[in-house]
């Protein structure tokens, strides 16, 4: 086996977002009589000595890199996220960048495998709606006519009467499942993923809300599962608009970039048409608490994100920017509190759905069906199916179970 490149050790640690102090704790390097653990790692990163096999394998796990990466002649270039539609603070971006890059690498790898197997089995049928609005990207994406056209196309792609059928679903998760099933029927793979396998690597919604790969054979939409279920629907529609525009990229939380404003406006118009806005009961100069109560009641009965409703009111000039900011912050704080209470309740009761039920829901029926079918025909090995599903090979059978 060739010698490990010390430059790769530095690059892998830094792109994992770890200082040397943090890395030695995770890897399990300890102090000795004459040398501190940090100095031992520094020696490895200078090339003074090679890491032992056990230490290297721990680096593989903690840095989230394949073993062969450590034997490359030089650090690879930064992974391609596509466009970055977000506007986030530098400090927060710097802290979360390694996690975002790791998630994007994982998704791109899985998507490329799906496209490859579809092409190998002569099932690579180009989807005509991907990029159908590409001409609007720089020309007229801000006009009302463009927005209405995008809404009409999106409803045709989903073969769904929005928002009528959506409002009638018994709860926000069921409403999202309806939208997701329609998107998957159109050929889009929709996954729920907001971390790298543990809650400790969870990405905040303002850092990562969604990611889309605008591939005309195997388009992928990734939604941060740590958001509220009602917000999943909004994010799904938002990312589908990026697909119509032919844009691959990552989205955050209500960014002010032109592309994001357009996608947000189209998605919110699909879920909350102009005619519905009058029923919210918001009046000029109304107390913020009254506005919150009206939005709460309206959104809850229609499976809508409270923040999305407030955003729609902002775009229609029924509330101003300070009011939206205040309402958004209150809705976010309440959601976090409710989420923590639910987690506490589940921990205390030891209830909730099983790991495999949760895993199947996050992966989505389209991806489960594809891997099951391709394994049955011999086009996919268990190892490759596991990679696509994001599980260990031994878990493939249970992860695919209906």
**Could you tell me which of 230, 251, 228 has the C-alpha nearest to residue 239?**
251
Distance between CA atoms of 314 and 310, rounded to whole angstroms? 6
User: CB–CB of 62/16 below 8 Å?
Assistant: yes
Distances (CA, A) of 371 to 202, 223, 310, 378: 26, 20, 40, 10
Beta strand ranges found along 106-182 (DSSP E): none
User: CB–CB of 237/225 below 8 Å?
Assistant: no
Distance between CA atoms of 19 and 208, rounded to whole angstroms? 23
Q: What is the pLDDT of residue 95?
A: 63
Residue 37: how many other CB atoms lie within 10 Å: 18
Q: What is the pLDDT of residue 90?
A: 40
Number of DSSP helices (H) and strands (E) in the chain, helices first: 18, 5
Predicted model pTM = 0.81
Distance between CA atoms of 186 and 155, rounded to whole angstroms? 11
The dihedral formed by the CA atoms of 381, 385, 390 and 391, expressed in degrees to the nearest 10? -60
Structural domains in the chain plus CATH codes: 6-71 (1.10.260.40), 84-271 (no CATH), 355-400 (no CATH)
State phi, psi for 223 to the nearest 5 degrees: -120, 135
Distances (CA, A) of 38 to 35, 101, 120: 8, 26, 48
Six token digits for residue 98: 């390694």
Residue with tokens 């490990």: 4
User: CB–CB of 75/13 below 8 Å?
Assistant: no
End-to-end CA distance of the chain: 43
The dihedral formed by the CA atoms of 112, 117, 119 and 123, expressed in degrees to the nearest 10? -120
> Which strands make up the sheet holding 189-192, listed edge to edge?
83-84, 249-251, 210-213, 220-223, 189-192
Six token digits for residue 90: 């530098």
Q: What is the pLDDT of residue 211?
A: 95
Note down pLDDT in tens along the chain; length 402 residues. Answer: 457 889 999 988 887 778 899 999 999 999 998 899 999 999 999 999 989 999 999 998 888 787 877 888 888 666 566 667 665 444 345 567 777 888 888 899 999 999 999 999 999 999 999 999 987 655 445 678 888 899 999 999 999 988 989 999 999 999 999 999 999 999 999 999 998 777 767 888 878 899 999 999 999 999 999 999 999 999 999 999 999 999 999 987 766 778 888 999 999 999 999 889 889 988 877 899 999 999 999 999 999 999 999 999 998 899 999 999 999 999 989 888 888 887 777 666 655 566 678 789 999 999 999 999 999 999 999 999 999 998 888 888 777 765
Peptide bond into 163 cis (omega under 30): yes
Residue with tokens 């020309």: 139
Q: What is the pLDDT of residue 146?
A: 86
Give 106's contacts (C-beta < 8 A, 6+ positions apart).
196, 390
Q: Counting every residue, how long is the chain?
A: 402
Distance between CA atoms of 374 and 386, rounded to whole angstroms? 12
Give 63's contacts (C-beta < 8 A, 6+ positions apart).
12, 13, 15, 16, 18
């Amino acid at each position: 086996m060739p010698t490990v490149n010390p430059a790769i050790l530095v690059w892998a640690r830094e792109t994992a977002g770890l200082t040397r102090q943090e890395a030695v704790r995770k890897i399990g390097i300890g102090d000795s009589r004459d040398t501190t653990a940090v100095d031992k790692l520094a020696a490895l990163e200078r090339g003074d000595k090679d890491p032992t096999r056990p230490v290297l394998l721990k680096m593989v796990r903690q840095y989230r890199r394949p073993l062969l990466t450590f034997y490359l002649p030089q650090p690879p270039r930064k992974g391609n996220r596509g466009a970055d539609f977000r506007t986030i603070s530098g400090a927060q971006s710097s802290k979360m960048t390694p996690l975002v890059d790791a998630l994007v690498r994982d998704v791109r790898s899985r998507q490329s495998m799906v496209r490859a197997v579809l092409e190998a089995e002569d099932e690579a049928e180009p989807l005509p709606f991907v990029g159908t609005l590409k001409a609007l990207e720089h020309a007229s994406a801000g006009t009302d006519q463009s927005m209405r056209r995008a809404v009409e196309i999106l409803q045709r792609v989903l073969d769904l009467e929005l928002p009528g059928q959506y409002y009638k679903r018994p709860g926000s998760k069921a409403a999202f499942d309806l939208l997701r099933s329609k998107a998957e029927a159109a050929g889009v793979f929709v996954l729920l993923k907001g971390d790298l396998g543990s809650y400790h690597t969870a990405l905040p919604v303002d850092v990562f809300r969604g990611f889309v790969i605008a591939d005309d054979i195997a388009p992928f939409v990734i939604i941060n599962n740590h958001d509220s279920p009602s917000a999943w629907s909004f994010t799904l529609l938002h990312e589908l608009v990026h697909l119509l525009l032919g844009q691959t990229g990552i989205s955050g939380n209500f960014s002010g970039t032109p592309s994001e404003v357009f996608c947000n406006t189209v998605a919110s118009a699909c879920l909350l048409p102009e005619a519905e806005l009058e029923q919210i009961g918001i009046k000029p100069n109304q107390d913020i608490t009254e506005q919150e109560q009206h939005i709460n009641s309206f959104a809850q009965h229609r499976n809508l994100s409270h923040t999305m409703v407030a955003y729609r009111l902002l775009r229609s000039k029924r509330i101003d920017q300070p009011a939206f900011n205040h309402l958004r912050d209150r809705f976010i704080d309440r959601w976090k509190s409710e989420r923590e209470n639910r987690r506490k309740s589940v921990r205390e009761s030891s209830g909730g759905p099983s790991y495999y039920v949760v895993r199947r829901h996050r992966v989505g029926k389209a991806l489960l069906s594809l891997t099951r079918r391709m394994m049955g025909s011999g086009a996919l090995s268990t190892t490759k199916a596991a990679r696509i599903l994001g599980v260990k090979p031994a878990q493939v059978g249970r992860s695919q179970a209906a």
